[in-house]
Structure 1
Amino acid sequence: MIVDLPDTTTSKITKMIVKLREQGGVVALGRVLTLVVITELGNEEDAIAAANLASREHPCRIIVLAAGSAADATRLDAEIRVGGDAGASEVIVLHGHGELAAENESLVSGLLLPDAPIVAWWPNQAPAKTSESPVGRIAHRRITDSANAADPRAALSNIAQTYAAGDTDLAWTRLTNWRIQLAAALDGFDASDPITRIHVEGAIDSPSTLLLAAWLHMALEVPITVKDDTRGTGIRTVVLERLKGTVELTRPATTDAVLTQPGQPVQHIALPRRSLQDCLAEELRRLDPDEVFGEVVTDGLTKLLSEEEVMQA
């Protein structure tokens, strides 16, 4: 069910939520957090769809700030979605115009669940420093997606420079399965035959490629080469060189990968590209700072980008 509230206020929205609760019983109960989505008018539906699916694992209240035009007369239009239109959550969509078009903490504060953690998510363009933005200041976790920025690598570099505990980026979350497979391969290594060099290859527009390279470079402390590939998207190949042979994990398409190791049969591994809702659901599982991401993006990435010979076209 979708309830439209044109030219409204947060007080009227709250009263309508209470009314819907009385009509629907437990429809507004049992939420474990508030997810605030900050986007622009016209870009909100994909984010809402992903949040709805993620909410089946993490029931929450979803507040969507979909900014309209700052040139319009100041007003607030809203929608409340419950039931089949809201997954396991309740969705409040706020269309701010005029003075309310900018990211606005006052619009959010009256709609937050009491005594529940707050997660802020910018699915498209993020502010220069999320931890100091109006909503970011009150959030326990702040999620960005540098892959959707106009310049993904510049966005990732900005995250490295402005990182604060609680920040994370979905380019990192997309690496979870790659990291699991590589960590499993590393666990079986013979200490007498250490890794001597790393090669990482991925799409030129993929910030995940740089984050994976930074993680490996920081963990293994050996020379690394990162190569851009104009074909497709995402990571394609990781090669770990050893004296007795190389270990190579390659994903030629978007679903299956091939793992080659010395003295072992070739393994075919399911390594599909992760969906937006899977990545979001993973981030909602933890409300404490992701310390590994913090180290990778501040120390590992900074070191990687400072070594000019690492990058190859």
Structure 2
Amino acid sequence: MIVDLPDTTTSKITKKLVTIRDEGGAVALGRVLTLVIAAEFGTEEVAIEAANDASREHPMRVIVLAKEPEEAAGSSATATAAKTARLDAQIRVGGDAGASEVIILRAYGEAGNNEESLITGLLLPDAPVVAWWPGKAPEVASTSPLGRIAQRRITDASAQEDPHEALLHLARTYAPGDTDFAWTRLTLWRAQLAAVLDQPPYEPVLDAQVSGAADSPSTVLLAAWLKLQLKVDVKHELTSRGAGSSGIHGVRLTRASGDIDLERPVANVATLVQPNQPTHDLALPRRSLRDCLAEELRRLDPDDLYGDVLTTGLGQLDEAELPTKGSN
């Protein structure tokens, strides 16, 4: 069921939710958290679809806040700004919201100036709050209006204009509770590499090399993780946009007995080559938006390993090899 509430207020939205719950039987008692999505105009549906899919694992209330772009708002004359200030809302429950209930807020003009007040009255009582910026991230996530009310804050460095500069900025502004999808996309890679090293021969890794697309912040994070965990020299090679597949291309770990190569030449399938062993093809799919979101919603405590990799591991990489602005 979809209910539209044009030119409304937070109070009216709350009352409508109560009415829907009383009349239709839609309840919020089973919701385990509130997911607040700060979406850009025109991109809401992509984020909502991912949230609906993830809600089957994490029943939740989804609040989507989309503010009118500043350039659009600025085109109106100052004298008529008050007239153009408006909050439109849409409530989705049942089959239109997966296992969640979705509240979409579209704020125009000055109606979007106070994000925190728009959201606070719609939060589930006594439930944790997760804030997600699928597009442009705030200057400092933890001190932003939405970040202040959230236990977990999710950004995506790959969605920024300069992904690698965004990654370095995240390191400078990191606070416990922050996370980024550039890190979430590494889970399968980290698991596979750990599994390989957990098998004989139990030799120490002498050095490592990571290769990936030039616009992939995950490649740099993987190099930083290996540097931090293995305490060896790690080289990372970045190729220009469009040269080969996107994302991480491969990892080489060098031990006394020879090289371990884990490469993904085509989407979703990786090849593992080890000394004195047959070559294996492994399922290593590119993670969807839904998969990344569902994983991050499984934990509501700070991801200490991500924090260490971001704030310490990146700093241990050779500065001469770190991507700089304009290298994409």
Identity across aligned pairs (percent)? Answer: 60
1:74 and 2:73 correspond: no
Whether 1:123 aligns to 2:129 is no
2:50 aligns with 50
Per the alignment, residue 308 of structure 2 pairs with 295
1:309 Cα deviation from its structure 2 partner: 4.6
- Give the conservation status (yes or no) of the 8 Å contact 2:236–2:321: no
Q: How far apart are 1:4 and its partner, in Å?
A: 0.6
C-alpha spacing 1:147/1:310, structure 2 compared with 1 (3 Å): closer
TM-score by length of 2: 0.91
User: 2:35 — aligned with what?
Assistant: 35
In 2, distance between residues paired with 1:22 and 1:145?
38
Equivalent position SS for 1:251 = strand
The residue that corresponds to 2:184 in the other structure is: 173
Moved over 6 A (4+): 310-313
Question: Aligned runs of 1:265-276 on 2, under 5 Å?
Answer: 265-276=278-289
Query: 1:269 deviation in Å?
Result: 0.6
> TM-score scaled to structure 1, two decimals?
0.96
Distance in 2 between residues matched to 1:245 and 1:28, nearest whole Å: 56
Q: Which runs of 5+ in 2 are unaligned?
A: 77-83
Show the counterpart of 1:94.
105
Which residue identity lines up with residue 101 of structure 1 in the other structure?
A: G
Root-mean-square deviation (CA, aligned residues, Å) is: 1.6
Matched, 1:106 2:117: yes
Inter-partner Cα distance in structure 2 for 1:129 and 1:167: 10
Q: Alignment partner of 2:197: what SS?
A: helix
Query: Which of residues 265, 275, 281 is equivalent to 2:294?
Result: 281
| 1:262 corresponds to which of 275, 299, 307 | 275
Is residue 227 of structure 1 aligned with residue 203 of structure 2?
Answer: no
Conserved? CA contact 2:245–2:265, under 8 Å:
no
Paired residues in the alignment total: 311
Q: Per-residue displacement from partner, 1:222-267 (whole Å, max 9, x unpaired)?
A: 1111111232211111000122210010010111111111121111
The Cα shift of 1:221 comes to 1.1
In structure 1, which of residues 240, 246, 249 is the aligned counterpart of residue 259 of structure 2? 246
By how many angstroms is 1:64 displaced? 0.3
Aligned match of 1:212: 222
Could you tell me how far apart the structure 1 residues matched to 2:113 and 2:276 are?
A: 59
Aligned to 2:166: 155
1:15 matched to 2:15? The reply is: yes
Structure 1 stretches lacking a partner, 5+ long: none
Stretch of structure 1 that moved more, 223-232 or 14-23: 223-232
Distance 1:258 1:136 in 2: 40
Q: Does 1:24 align with 2:2?
A: no
